[in-house]
Amino acid sequence: MPSPNQSGYGKFGWRSADLATQTSKATENTSQQLSEIQGAISGAVQSIETIVFIVNNLDEVTASIAAAVEEQGAATVEMSSSVQAVAEGAERLKMNIGGVQEAIELSDRTAMQFSAGSRTLDSSAAAITQHIEGFFERVVSLL
C-alpha cells in the first residue's frame, strides 16, 4: 500500500503492478477454462463419433432384420396359400371319402389353426417393423 507521502507516480506504479497481477491471474483462469472447454468438446466429439458408429451399426442390423421380416412375410403368404390349398383339398376329400370323415375333420381344424398362426406371425412381423421404425425416429430426433 503506498504511503500518503508517495508521489502520484509512485501510487500509479503500485496500482499498475497490482492490475498486472490481476490481469495475469485472470488470463491464467481464462486459459484454464478454455482448456477445460476444449477437453469437454473433445469428449463430446468422441461421444458423437461413438453414437454415429452405433447408429451405422443399427442401420445394418435394421436392414438385416427388415430383410428377414420381408422374407418371413413372403414365406408366410406362401404357407398361407399352401394351407388354404390343403384345406380345400381336405374338404373335397371329405366329400369323396365318407369312411375317413373323422380324420379329415381333424386335418381341417389343424390347417385352420396353422393358417391363423400364419396370420398372427404376419401381424407380429408388421408390429416389429413399426417398433424398429419408431426406435430409429427417436434415435434420429436425439441427434
Q: Which three cell numbers stand for residue 17?
A: 503492478
Query: Contact at 8 Å (CB) between 56 and 119?
Result: no
Summarised one tens digit per residue, pLDDT across range 3-33 is 545 555 555 566 777 888 888 898 898 889 8
Q: What percentage of the chain carries pLDDT values higher than 70?
A: 85
Chain-wide mean pLDDT for the chain? 79
User: What per-residue confidence (pLDDT) applies to 39?
Assistant: 87
Summarised one tens digit per residue, pLDDT across range 19-70 is 888 888 988 988 898 888 898 888 888 988 988 888 788 878 888 888 888 8
User: What per-residue confidence (pLDDT) applies to 32?
Assistant: 92
User: What per-residue confidence (pLDDT) applies to 21?
Assistant: 86
pTM over the 0.85 mark? no
Summarised one tens digit per residue, pLDDT across range 83-108 is 788 889 878 876 776 665 676 677 77
User: What per-residue confidence (pLDDT) applies to 46?
Assistant: 92
Instruction: Name the burial class of residue 74, with classes exposed (0-12), middle (13-18) and buried (19+) by CB atoms within 10 angstroms of its CB.
Output: exposed
Domain ranges (residues) in the chain: 8-142
